Amino acid sequence: MVAQELESQQQQQQPPKKGSASLHSHEGPGLNILVGKAREVIQQAIVDPVTYLANWGRLYSLWPVHLETACCSIEWGAVSGPRFDAERYGILEAFGSLRQCDLVVVHGTVTRKMAPRLRFIYDQMPEPKWVIAMGACSISGGVYFDSYNVLPGVDQVIPVDVYVPGCPPRPEELIDAFILLQDKIRNSNIKKTS
Amino acid sequence: MSLPTQSSGLFTEQVSEDKLVVSIGPQHPGAGHFRFTIRVEGDTITECIPDPGYVHRGGEKQTEYRTYIQSIPMIERSSLLDVTNITLPYCMAAEELMGIQVPPRAQYLRMIMSENQRIISHLYWLGIQGIFLGHSTMFMWPLGDRDIFIDLGQMIGGARITYSYCVPGGVRNDMPPNFKDRAMKVFEYFESRLKDYERIFFRSPLFEKRTRGVGVLSRSDAISLGVAGQVLRASGVKSDTRIDEPYCFYKDISFEVPVYDDGDTWARCMVHLEEMRQSMSIIRQCLEKMPQGQIKVKLSPQQRAQAGEAYCRTEAARGAMAFHIISDGSTKPYRTKWSVPSFRNLIALPKLLVGSHVADMPAIYWSLDYWPVEADR
Ligand code: SF4
């Protein structure tokens, strides 16, 4: 966003030479180099630091929404407990409104009754938002792959960023998933969220 | 007038000046994978309709196309808080159909694991009850101590919580030689911890104020509604499958069944607390009395059961758990029916919530120890 605005300002400041349509193609390399240089300068001086700052801010304050879908939520409880303590990584379950949340951890099986609710909750959350699919059930259906009431994978309803295999995953694996997600956020582009 | 149905009941609706219809769950800190709708007049709940089934995964149907041994991990997943206790009646029923005698050492190992699992489950319950009453310390302490008992189970079972320990014919692993010392140390530590729990939580004025006289279930109601486990015992009914119909070697073990006459949330919490002490004493006695010997009767993976029916009942962490298996003589059950305590306790929820305050709702709800995954199967 920032880059585009600045870029358009920059372009407006350039005095148009003999009709703007031919600006980039036929007028020799001089101006092209100038625009390219200016873009690079803006990128390095403004966009990169702003992106870094915004991502850094999001990185260590992930608020998962309190939505338990199945038995993996027990290991979620253990992760919030004192031995594994996800709060060290800036992840603390939000007991308030889901409109303040930016992370959905799908705790296992999503049944046909839960799926519309999951989508409903996901749609109400503000951007940017991320999803961790926890457990074999939310990846492919797990032990219930042939059940009549279970979705074979939660990615049929919402987009998933990190998959955590296991049935249930050990708390260490879940913490590893948080670190993976933080890596992803650290390297993400501010213009395009989720 | 009945409450709005599922499609329209997603939001809080103002019915009149002082009446509201509130939908709680499935995304709600006090509900988990469960939803109920309440009608509120001022601060008093006048009607409650539970809406279970968010975790119905068709486990009963799935046992029909798995062999006896293949079903075990799947049955176990229905109650991950309480894994040994839920597979035990299934294995006992399958053994009855196959005509197998389980070696005594395996029976003792089963008892040790079930009692350990009972403590793990109760500690999880206690942590959540603590946070529902606004007591964060009581969330952190039991969850930290729970990991110690999980380590104890891990020594025998080999996995963190899902060890599929009971199999038809016995148990999967024997216990390591250093288990007894380790267990004794853990129990010594936990007994002193239980005193701390009492001091900081169970005898604190906050806990008394928020639970005494809240959500009272009378003895006659408890019997007529057919509730199970702690809810039944807190209402003054001395009922425990371990004593009424002893299985394994419970008849050789002396332990007490805590019973309270109050029937309120306080009594249900105290029953949980007391049961943890009793479970430790049971494990101690089991470790003393345990004989050496075989831990399992070797069975073929395609073991056939005789045609017929078997029904077995045990006392799980939340109450009496029963399995009914119908066999047609093949390698797979023809039909299984699971009777789980959580689902039977759910029927008490509307009864308890009507007439109580909205602020008491979390305490009452969780004092039933309702575990939706187990209830929905
Ligand atoms: S992955 Fe395993 S533990 Fe997790 S919800 Fe599925 S069955 Fe339960």
Please report, for the domain that includes residue B300, its CATH number: 1.10.645.10
Average pLDDT over residues B274-283: 90
Alpha-helix runs per DSSP H in B133-264: 137-157, 179-197, 205-211, 219-225, 229-234, 241-244
Q: Is the pLDDT of residue A11 over 60?
A: no
Number of domains into which chain B is organized: 2
- Ligand 1 contacts (CB < 6 A) are A 70-72, 108-109, 135-137, 142-143, 167-168; B 77, 80
Classify residue B89: in a domain, yes or no: yes
* B124 shares a domain with B231: yes
Return the beta strands (E) in chain B as ranges.
Answer: 13-16, 19-24, 35-41, 44-51, 166-167, 170-171, 308-316, 319-327, 333-339
From B16, B32, B51, give the residue that closes a domain: B51
Residue A137 contacts residue A110 (beta carbons within 8 Å) = yes
Does the pTM surpass 0.80? The reply is: yes
**Do B98 and B38 lie in a common domain?**
no
Residues B258 and B231 in one domain: yes
Instruction: Give the tokens for residue A66.
Output: 């309190």
Would you say residue B46 has pLDDT above 80?
yes
Instruction: Say which of A75, A114, A148 has its CB closest to residue B54.
Output: A114
pLDDT tens, A44-70?
788 788 888 888 888 887 888 877 778
For position A94, what pLDDT does the model report? Answer: 66
**How far is it, in rounded angstroms, from Cα A144 to Cα A156?**
16
Q: Do A69 and B33 touch (CB under 8 A)?
A: yes
Averaged over B12-36, what is the pLDDT? 71
Question: Residues B13, B155: one domain?
Answer: no
Q: Are residues B42 and B68 in the same domain?
A: no
Do B202 and B342 belong to one domain?
A: yes
Calculate ∠ Cα B93-B97-B98, nearest 5°.
Answer: 115
Helix axes B265-289, B179-197, angle to 10 degrees: 160
End-to-end CA distance of chain B: 31
Q: Which residues of A fall within a CB distance of 8 Å from B150? A: 78
What pLDDT, on a 0 to 100 scale, did the predictor assign at position A30?
Answer: 76
Report the SS3 class of residue A144: helix
- pLDDT for B181 beyond 60: yes
Crossing angle between the packed helical segments A29-42 and A2-13, to the nearest 10 degrees: 140
Provide ipTM, 2 decimals: 0.79
Mutant choice from B6, B7, B33, B193 vs A, greatest count of A C-beta within 10 A: B33
Q: What percent of chain B has pLDDT over 70?
A: 94
Residue B250 has pLDDT above 70, yes or no: yes
Burial-class residue B176 by CB neighbours within 10 Å (0-12, 13-18, 19+). exposed
Strands A103-107 and A130-134: parallel
Q: CA dist B234 to B109, B213, B319, Å?
A: 29, 12, 12
Higher pLDDT, A9 or A88: A88
pLDDT at position B119: 92
Chain A CB contacts of B23 below 8 Å: none
Residue B310: which of B325, B332, B330, B329 has the closest Cα? B325
Q: How many interchain CB pairs under 8 A, A with B? A: 100
- Which three-class secondary structure state does DSSP give residue B135? coil
pLDDT of B4 reads 42
Q: Which of B222, B235, B237, B227 is nearest to B262 (CA)?
A: B235
* pLDDT for A28: 63
Our measurement of the distance from residue B321's CA atom to the centroid of its chain's CA atoms, rounded to an integer in Å, reads 9
What is the DSSP-derived secondary structure letter of residue A45? I
Give percent of chain A above pLDDT 90: 0
Give me the mean pLDDT over the B195-199 stretch: 89
pLDDT, position A194: 44
Q: In a mutagenesis test of the B interface, which of A68, A124, A144 is the best target, namely the one with the most B β-carbons within 10 Å? A: A68
- Tokens describing residue A53: 């700052």
Closest CA to B191 of B116, B294, B280: B280
Name residue, tokens 């120890």.
B369
What is the CA(B164)–ligand 1 centre distance, in A?
A: 14
Cβ atoms of residues A181 and A130 within 8 Å: yes
Report the distance separating Cα B277 and Cα B196, nearest Å. 14
Query: Does any domain span residue B110?
Result: yes
Mean pLDDT (whole number) for A116-139: 86
Which pLDDT belongs to residue B85?
87
| Residues B100 and B36 occupy one common structural domain | no
For residue B6, pLDDT over 80 is answered with no
| B355 belongs to a structural domain | no
Range of lowest pLDDT (A38-47, B60-69, B226-235): A38-47
* Residue B185 belongs to some domain of the structure: yes
Residues of the domain holding B47: 5-51
A68/B81 CB distance under 8 A = no
Angle at which helices B137-157 and B179-197 pack, to 10 degrees? 170
Q: Which one has a higher pLDDT value, B303 or B179?
A: B179
pLDDT at A193: 47
B80, pLDDT greater than 70: yes
Identify whether residues B63 and B34 lie together within a single domain. Answer: no
**Residues 6 or more apart in contact with residue A143 via CB below 8 angstroms:** A136, A137, A167, B73, B74, B77
Q: Does domain A65-186 have CATH number 3.40.50.1010?
A: no
In this structure, are B69 and B162 located in the same domain? yes
